[in-house]
Amino acid sequence: MTGIDAIAELFAGPGARDYLGEAVTIGEHMRQAGALAEAAGADPPLVAAALLHDIGHLRSETDRKHGDAGARWLSRWFGPAVTEPVRLHVAAKRYLCATEPGYVGRLSPESVRTLALQGGPMTAEQAAAFEAGPYARDAVAVRRWDDEAKDPAVIPPGFARFESLLSALLEPGLPRSPACGTTR
C-alpha cells in the first residue's frame, strides 16, 4: 500500500465518523479545509497541510497530541512543507488566542473546549518563540482554514480531487499511488 492509499483509507474509514462535536464529519472537515486552501491560491504543500491537518485524529490520537502524531506519520511520505504546518496547527490556535483580540470568540464551542486540553493561550514568550519558527505563518494559515472548515452546508470535494496533488508532493524515491486520477 502506498502513502496515498493509506491516507485515502483513513478518509474512507475513520474520516466518516463524527468530528468531536462539530456539525460535520472529520473527513468533511479536512476536505473543506483543503478546498479552502486551494480556493485561496495556496501553494500545493500548504493545500496538502490543510487537507491533512487532523490526520492524527484519524489515527486515534488525543486532542493535545494529534498534530505531532499526524506530522510524524505523514513524514514517511512528505517533507516539512507539508508536515510542519500539520504539526504546528494546534500551536497556531494557542498563538492566535494569545495574540489576536477576539479570536477566541470566533472559535467553535468544541475548539474552545479543546483549547484548555491543548494548553490554553500561549504566554508572550511562547508566542514570540512560535513566531520565530520557519513554518509559523503556514501553520496560522492552516489554523484559519481549520476554523472555517466546519460548515454543514458546504459539500466538500471528494478525497480523489486531492490525490494527484498529494502524489506530486511525495518525497523522491517513494512510490506514487497507482490510483491517482481515479475516483473512489
14 pLDDT higher than 80:
no
| Type of residue found at 41 | G
The pTM assigned to this predicted structure is 0.89
Cell numbers linked to 147: 476554523
Q: Considering only CA atoms, which of 11, 33, 29 is closest in space to residue 19?
A: 29
Cell numbers linked to 166: 498529494
Quick: pLDDT tens for 103-119: 999 998 888 988 988 99
> Which domains are assigned to the chain?
3-152+160-169 (1.10.3210.10)
Cell numbers linked to 69: 502524531
List CB contacts of 15: < 8 A, sequence separation 6 or more.
Answer: 25, 26, 27, 30, 58, 159
DSSP structural state of residue 22: S
Question: Helix, strand or coil for residue 25?
Answer: strand
Quick: pLDDT tens for 28-67: 999 999 999 999 999 999 999 999 999 998 886 666 688 9
- The pLDDT score that the predictor gives to residue 63 is 62
Tell me the average pLDDT across 140-166: 96
- The pLDDT score that the predictor gives to residue 173 is 62
Cell numbers linked to 104: 477566541
- The pLDDT score that the predictor gives to residue 181 is 35
Give the number of C-alpha atoms closer than 13 A to the C-alpha of residue 65, restricted to the C-beta side.
7
- CA 146 – CA 70 distance, rounded (Å): 15
- The pLDDT score that the predictor gives to residue 64 is 67
176 pLDDT higher than 70:
no
List CB contacts of 61: < 8 A, sequence separation 6 or more.
Answer: 69, 70
Helix and strand totals (H; E) in the chain? 11, 0
- The pLDDT score that the predictor gives to residue 183 is 30
Check: CB of residue 145 under 8 Å from CB of residue 39: no
99 pLDDT higher than 90:
yes
